[in-house]
Amino acid sequence: MGTREGGLVGNYGEMEEQNQKLESLQDGPYDVSMSGQMKRLLWHGGSVWDAWFSAASNQVAQVLLTLPYSFAQLGFASGIAFQFFYGVIGCWSCYMITWLYVEYRTRKEREGVIFKNHVIQWFEVLDGLLGRNWKIVGLVFNCTFLLFGAVIQLIACASNIFLINDHLNKREWTYIFGACCMLTVLVPSFRNYRLWSFFGLIMISYTAWYMTIAALAHGQVANVVHSAPTTKVLYFTGATNILYTFGGHAVTVEIMHAMYKPVRFKFVYVFATLYVFTLTIPSAVAVYWAFGDDLLKHSNALSLLPRTMARDVAVVLMLIHQFITVGFAVTPLYFVWEKMIGIHNTKSLLLRAVSRMPVILPVWFFAIAFPFFGPINSTVGALLVTFTVYIIPCVAHMVVYRAATARQNAVEKPPFFMPSWVGVYLVNIFIVVWIIVIGIGWGGWASVTNFVQQIDTFGVFAPCYQCPPRAPVAATPPKLHA
């Protein structure tokens, strides 16, 4: 971060315009060559569309494959209802994060701070608005969630590639993909994910609609049963997996900061969620309709669909998308690590890339230790997503604006559909109470119970979680000698 001379700027929009002018002056003259134009087209993304691609692509990844499993735990009605419910409150909590980011950045801009080579992160917003204790809480929960978010994507890579190549077990595939994830250290920031976000959304869209069409074309299996919900453990485990699905805004601040006009992200995320609904609901409904309770033993929905060229394409595209999503999860961790060792503001991309390598090692380790594709989603959702992206943003917003003067001087005002501060507080209180009781209470109990069952059944460092037994190799008859 740097500072600039001059008076206070009136509002956030004016400060954004002034910052862009300053950055353009510091970046030098506009490169009109073909290479310069291609570099901006493929590498430098900060528009509303770039943010939408990043938000939508990041929000739904491997969890798309586990939502039919959640429907087998919840049933049709609850599965659809929870998707809409958590999608709505996810948008609201993301709005709270956006609101606090704008407030924090505006205050810093008025103090003359320029974020030229510095990426603002959520824990810094909490520190600037509420102090050191909030910073520590936000840092611990956010980093832990992002760490296990990357772990889940790495587990999913091994689970998917095993569907088309079972010569290696899933643990061995995790070794390979863990090494490949080292390549994410080469991407400087979210602004450089333009091309990957675009193709990532195309890949996940193909997979979702393949699942829908393939399940309908396959039809229902013989004697299909749709018995959900049956037990409280399964019901609340499934509900918490959906809570996890719409809790992908842990990287909200980093994506916002990559935008040319971050204040627009509150609209971007709503439209990203609406698009995600078109992928998650039809695919989950269709696959559960076709296979019913069989999904309770197959957390990866692709494993039940017949192997065809179309399914193999879906598997490969999901692998690439999950690799991209690992990058989304670990990039904020890279920023935290760079700030800890004091090189975040350096212009040397090589130095930053080399320094990031130790961050991927714990991701690798936990993916090998707990390869429970499906159940780990719910556990992370109940213990980490609840606090990181629901409770902390809503409570922080209420604390920041608890005083009348803070509400009067707020940069962002209550939305047009809820012009009263009382309404904003009531919504925040409802979300906090709901998440504590249902998400952490019932969801935590069910998810941890289910997770412990997986450890008891398969053990830690399981070589091949939920793999079908291999056919025994026929013994070679002994040769007869005269």
pLDDT at 55 (0 to 100): 85
Beta bridge partners of 113: 3
pTM (two decimals): 0.84
Contact 189, 331 (CB under 8 A): yes
Cα separation values, 424 from 72, 390, 417, 419, Å: 35, 14, 10, 8
> Is the residue at 26 inside a domain?
no
pLDDT at 152 (0 to 100): 86
pLDDT at 169 (0 to 100): 84
List the CATH number of the domain containing 429: 1.20.1740.10
pLDDT at 26 (0 to 100): 46
Q: Which residues contact 432 (CB under 8 A, 6 or more apart)?
A: 390, 391, 394, 395
> Is the residue at 467 inside a domain?
no
Contact 104, 409 (CB under 8 A): no
Q: Which residues contact 145 (CB under 8 A, 6 or more apart)?
A: 250, 380, 384, 385, 388, 389
Q: How many domains does the chain have?
A: 1
pLDDT at 428 (0 to 100): 96
As a whole number of angstroms, the distance between CA 215 and CA 447 comes to 28
Rounded to 5, what percent of the chain is helix, strand, coil?
75, 0, 25
Which residue's structure tokens are 């990039």? 331
> Is the residue at 464 inside a domain?
no
Helix (H, G, I), strand (E, B) or coil at 2: strand
Neighbouring CB atoms inside 10 A of 452's CB total 12
For residue range 416-430, list pLDDT tens digits in order.
Answer: 888 889 999 999 999
Ranges of the chain with pLDDT below 50: 3-10, 21-22, 24-28, 482
Our CA dihedral for 298, 372, 375, 230, rounded to 10 degrees, sits at: 40
> Is the residue at 395 inside a domain?
yes
Q: Which residues contact 242 (CB under 8 A, 6 or more apart)?
A: 67, 70, 74, 79, 82, 83, 86
Considering only CA atoms, which of 388, 367, 372, 395 is closest in space to residue 439? 388
As a whole number of angstroms, the distance between CA 30 and CA 406 comes to 41
> Is the residue at 443 inside a domain?
yes
SS (H, E, C) 77-137: HHHHHHHHHHHHHHHHHHHHHHHHHHHHHHHHHHCCEECCCCCCCHHHHHHHHHCHHHHHH
> Is the residue at 78 inside a domain?
yes
> Is the residue at 479 inside a domain?
no
Contact 196, 255 (CB under 8 A): no
- Token pair recorded at residue 238: 């499934």
Residue ranges of alpha helices (H) inside 165-303 are 170-180, 194-218, 232-245, 252-257, 265-291
- Give the angle 121-332-238 at the CA atoms, nearest 5°: 105
Q: Crossing angle of helices 265-291/194-218, nearest 10°?
A: 30
Considering only CA atoms, which of 366, 363, 371 is closest in space to residue 326? 363
Amino acid at 80: I
Q: What is the DSSP letter of 480?
A: P
pLDDT at 242 (0 to 100): 92
> Is the residue at 3 inside a domain?
no
> Which residue range forms the structural domain that includes residue 93?
48-458
Pairing type for strands 2-3 and 113-114 reads antiparallel
Amino acid at 31: D
Q: What is the DSSP letter of 342?
A: T
